[in-house]
Each structure stands twice: as structure tokens, then as C-alpha cells.
């Protein structure tokens, strides 16, 4: 099977999921073509069956904003024709599913039927989709996809509630590659923190929805009672305010900002606790990755997080914005070795339920009937 994958090539969850899904498909015999404006950050171009097609947006003085959707649609058409793709899997409704619809119509005029699978990841629904300027386009894109998946039941329900969607939406969760989360590295651990310090980690894109300020305030309360170090992985608009707040609190020596990292698992396996106090999470991939490393999670009760983090089993959860409760929960885990060990074992076990081999097969089961139906349709058109 030849699959075209359209995604954002960034460090965000949707880009990571799209890239790792494509890599898994390539390892299992599919030919996978990534179509986007730059090479995805986690894409290994040395892996077999992997190809990358860059979308070039030319700068015309006529346009205040360059027409990426037009360039993307054209690139999809070109790639489908040249590489004889069987299916397009687009991650995010806007602009990817919208551009895929246009590509599909252009290809249909040439006698080519290309199935389109759209995966909804969150902000295409919860943020962009809520904007009245985009809502009709989001609805149209979802309805005209051949199959639609959402990464959590929470997101599926929200999509149905926000839009007049008649097409079924299948929940296929995000996933992890369990083998990437090995044993802690003693040298790296010593570099991150002193031997008597606990390591608390947060990973995100540092947008407002992640409530980075809450991470700092929670840690300040934890730090007052437990010798600890906070490791912040990622970058974004909320990083500078967080760094300023850390200085105000006098915590510079015990808070480190590492910026963007490709191999996040190297940090996660060193952690004693993971913090995710987000305003909204359609799934909570960062929490799942922490759990795969055997790290207990303290998180907010937001969106899909509760479908991943089991309160009282793999970690503890509290209402969004309840800094005091999350700090208390963090202190409880960090000061009770037996509880931490129990949460750690349960977290790893829970994460194994989201192993990539289990989830990727669900996507393949979506692909196969669509490709077979498209081939049968084209055969009938050719031979009558």
C-alpha cells in the first residue's frame, strides 16, 4: 500500500503521531510519502520506504498571506499521480482535510479516486473550529472525508457537539513505542540533579492552554518541602513569562529550561514525577509518554487526559487551575516511595495498552477497505 501522510512537521503531538505512524507503516511494508512544508522533526529519512515531498509556497506581492492550501492541494495531486498513491491520511481538519478535498476533486476529473482519511487531534476542533470564520470549512472537511478518526472519546464528543456532523467518527487513540523508554542513565541523572533531589518534568509547546505558570507555581510549593529540580522541555510563547516567574521566586538554580528536544524519552526516564496541568488536552500524549517511562503523573482533569491517566492508579488528577491540590498531590508522591513505585508500575502497564503496534493496526484496518473500494471503483470505470 502506498500512503500519503499530510501533517504539521513540528514538535507538537499531531506531528509526532503522524511521523511515527508513517514510520511504523513503512517498517511493515507500506510505502509512505510525507507531504508538508518542511521535513518532520522526527522523520528518519534513512529508513526504507520513507519519502518526503516539500510543499513550496512562493512569495507573491499580490497576497498579504501566501496561499498554503492551494500549494498543498497541488502538491498532493502531483504526488498522488507521480507516486501512484493509494490513500491520503491527513492530520488536522484545517487546512489539511480542506486541501485534501480540493486535491480529491482535481484527481477525480482525471479519473483517479483517492480515499482521504482525516484524523482530528484537538485544536483543529477546540480552537480553530470554534472560530465562526472557520467552522463551515471544518464541518465540510470532516463530512467529505472518506473516514474520520479522533484521538479520544472526549474529542469525538466535542466534535459532534460543536458541529453538525453526520459522518461516523472512530476513536483511535495516540500511541507510544514502548521500547524507546529504557533504563535511566546515571550520568545524565547526575547532570540534571543532585543525588538527593527529586526530578520533576514538564513537556509541552508552552502555549497558554498548557498553563505553564501553573507548572512553576506547583513546583514552587513542592520545592519548599521536597529537595527537587524542575526540568522544562519544549518552547513557545509562555516560556519567557515562566522564566521571569522562576527568577522572581528565586528558583533559577533548581529550574532548567532545555528547549525543544527530539529524544524526549531520555529525560522522561530520569523523572520522578511528570506535571501536566493543562487547560485542555484532547488526549495528553506527553502524559502517556511519561507513563511509558514509568513516571507517575499529576495532571488536570481536562478533556482526554482522564482517558489516559487513571486517578489513584497511575497518578493523581485535580480540577484545572487547582495549583494547591496538584502541589499537594505531587508532594505526596515524591515523599512516599511505596506509592510512587506502585504508580510507576501501573503507569508503565497502562501505557503498554497504547503500544504503537496495537494502535497502528487499527489505522491499517481503516485504510484497507477504503483502498480496496477505490481500486474496485477504478477497475469498473476502466473495464465497465
The full 3-state SS of 333-368, as one line of letters, equals HHHCHHHHHHHHHHHHHHHHCCEHHHHHHHHHHHHH
Torsion 254-260-261-265 (CA) sign: positive
Q: Are 322 and 330 in contact (CB under 8 A)?
A: no
Read off the pLDDT band of 138 (50, 70, 90): confident
Q: d(Cα 110, Cα 104) in Å, to the nearest integer?
A: 10
For the cut 80, the answer to whether the pLDDT of residue 61 exceeds it is no
For the cut 60, the answer to whether the pLDDT of residue 128 exceeds it is no
Average pLDDT, the chain: 92
Instruction: Kindly state the DSSP code that residue 245 receives in the 8-state scheme.
Output: H
For the cut 80, the answer to whether the pLDDT of residue 232 exceeds it is yes
For the cut 70, the answer to whether the pLDDT of residue 254 exceeds it is yes
pLDDT score recorded for residue 65: 58
Read off the pLDDT band of 381 (50, 70, 90): low
pLDDT score recorded for residue 236: 93
pLDDT score recorded for residue 379: 63
Please check whether the domain covering 178-352 is classified as CATH 3.40.50.2000: yes
pLDDT tens digit string along 319-341? 999 999 999 999 999 999 999 99
| Mean pLDDT value of segment 114-139 | 77
Domain residues of the chain, as ranges?
2-175+356-383, 178-352
Read off the pLDDT band of 16 (50, 70, 90): confident
**Residue range 2-175+356-383, CATH number:** 3.40.50.2000
**Percentage above 90 pLDDT, the chain:** 75
pLDDT score recorded for residue 60: 64
Q: What does R_g of the chain's alpha carbons equal in angstroms?
A: 22
| Mean pLDDT value of segment 69-80 | 94
**Percentage above 70 pLDDT, the chain:** 93
| Mean pLDDT value of segment 28-32 | 96
Between residues 137 and 329, the one the model is more confident about: 329
| Mean pLDDT value of segment 152-164 | 89
| Mean pLDDT value of segment 68-95 | 93
Amino acid at each position: 500500500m502506498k500512503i500519503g501522510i499530510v501533517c504539521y512537521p513540528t514538535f507538537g503531538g499531531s506531528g509526532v503521531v503522524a511521523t511515527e505512524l508513517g514510520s511504523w507503516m513503512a517498517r511493515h511494508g507500506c510505502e509512505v510519502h510525507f507531504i508538508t512544508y518542511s521535513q518532520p522533526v522526527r522523520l528518519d529519512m534513512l529508513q526504507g520506504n520513507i519519502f518526503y515531498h516539500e510543499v513550496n509556497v512562493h512569495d507573491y506581492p499580490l497576497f498579504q498571506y501566501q496561499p498554503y492550501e492551494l500549494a498543498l492541494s497541488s502538491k498532493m495531486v502531483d504526488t498522488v499521480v507521480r507516486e501512484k498513491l493509494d490513500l491520503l491520511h491527513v492530520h488536522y481538519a484545517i487546512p489539511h482535510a480542506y486541501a485534501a478535498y480540493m486535491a480529491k476533486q482535481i484527481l477525480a476529473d482525471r479519473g483517479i479516486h483517492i480515499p482521504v482519511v482525516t484524523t482530528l487531534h484537538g485544536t483543529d476542533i477546540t480552537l480553530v473550529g470554534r472560530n465562526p470564520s472557520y467552522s463551515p470549512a471544518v464541518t465540510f472537511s470532516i463530512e467529505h472525508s472518506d473516514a474520520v478518526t479522533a484521538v479520544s472519546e472526549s474529542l469525538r464528543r466535542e466534535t459532534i457537539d460543536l458541529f453538525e456532523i453526520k459522518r461516523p467518527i472512530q476513536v483511535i487513540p495516540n500511541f507510544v513505542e514502548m521500547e524507546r523508554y529504557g533504563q535511566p542513565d546515571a550520568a545524565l541523572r547526575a547532570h540534571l540533579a543532585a543525588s538527593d533531589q527529586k526530578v520533576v518534568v514538564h513537556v509541552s509547546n508552552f502555549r497558554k492552554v498548557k498553563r505553564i505558570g501553573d507548572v512553576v507555581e506547583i513546583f514552587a510549593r513542592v520545592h519548599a518541602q521536597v529537595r527537587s529540580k524542575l526540568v522544562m522541555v519544549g518552547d513557545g510563547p509562555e516560556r519567557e513569562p515562566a522564566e521571569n516567574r522562576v527568577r522572581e521566586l528565586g528558583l533559577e538554580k533548581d529550574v532548567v529550561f532545555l528547549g525543544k528536544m527530539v529524544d524526549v524519552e531520555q529525560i522522561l526516564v530520569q523523572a520522578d514525577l511528570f506535571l501536566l496541568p493543562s487547560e485542555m488536552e484532547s488526549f495528553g500524549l506527553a502524559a502517556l509518554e511519561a507513563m511509558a517511562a514509568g513516571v507517575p503523573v499529576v495532571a488536570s482533569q481536562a478533556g482526554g487526559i482522564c482517558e489516559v491517566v487513571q486517578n489513584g492508579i497511575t497518578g493523581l488528577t485535580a480540577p484545572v487551575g487547582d495549583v494547591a491540590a496538584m502541589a499537594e498531590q505531587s508532594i505526596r508522591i515524591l515523599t512516599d516511595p511505596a506509592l510512587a513505585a506502585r504508580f510507576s508500575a501501573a503507569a508503565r502497564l497502562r501505557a503498554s495498552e497504547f503500544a504503537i503496534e496495537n494502535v497502528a493496526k487499527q489505522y491499517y484496518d481503516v485504510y484497507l477497505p477504503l483502498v480496496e473500494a477505490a481500486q474496485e471503483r477504478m477497475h469498473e470505470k476502466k473495464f465497465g
